[in-house]
């Protein structure tokens, strides 16, 4: 993942927005908070650029993934789906999921807003 190039592009497109490298030392996911939970507790929106994220679920939040650029392999509920730009998929509370791409840009909407307390990682 070309972290410098992606962060630069995000700063141009979304000036002043918080950018998170996940994990910080060798990111496989970069998140730009467009409508952060701190300002929008009912619904947060982020742009995630990812190669992969960890298998997890949310106790109360429903997420919607919408591919902006690239292709996404989304595993949820024991099935795998392949999404192209413009395609969306909902992820219900309690549904384990993980995503893979190659610098794939995904708009992630969370209702209610994303919270670290609501996200639980699958046992490794």
Task: Annotate 66-118 with three-state secondary structure.
Answer: EEEECCEEEEECCEEEEECCCCEEEECCCCCEEEEEEEEEEEEEEECCCCCCC
Q: What average pLDDT score do residues 8-32 get?
A: 95
pLDDT of residue 123: 64
State the number of CA atoms in the 13 A half-sphere of 31 facing the CB. Answer: 15
- Report helix, strand or coil for 18: coil
14, 35 in Cβ contact below 8 A?
no
What domains lie within the chain, and their CATH numbers? Answer: 34-121 (2.60.120.10)
pLDDT of residue 98: 94
């Amino acid at each position: 993942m070309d972290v410098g190039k992606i962060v630069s592009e995000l700063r141009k497109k979304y000036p002043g927005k918080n950018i998170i490298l996940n994990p910080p030392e060798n990111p496989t996911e970069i998140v730009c908070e467009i409508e952060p939970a701190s300002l929008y507790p009912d619904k947060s929106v982020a742009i995630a650029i990812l190669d992969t994220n960890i298998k997890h679920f949310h106790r109360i939040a429903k997420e919607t993934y919408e591919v902006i650029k690239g292709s996404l392999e989304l595993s949820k509920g024991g099935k795998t789906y392949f999404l192209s730009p413009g395609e969306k998929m909902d992820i219900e509370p309690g549904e384990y999921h993980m995503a893979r791409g190659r610098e794939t840009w995904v708009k992630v909407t969370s209702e209610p807003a994303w919270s670290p307390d609501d996200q639980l990682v699958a046992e490794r």
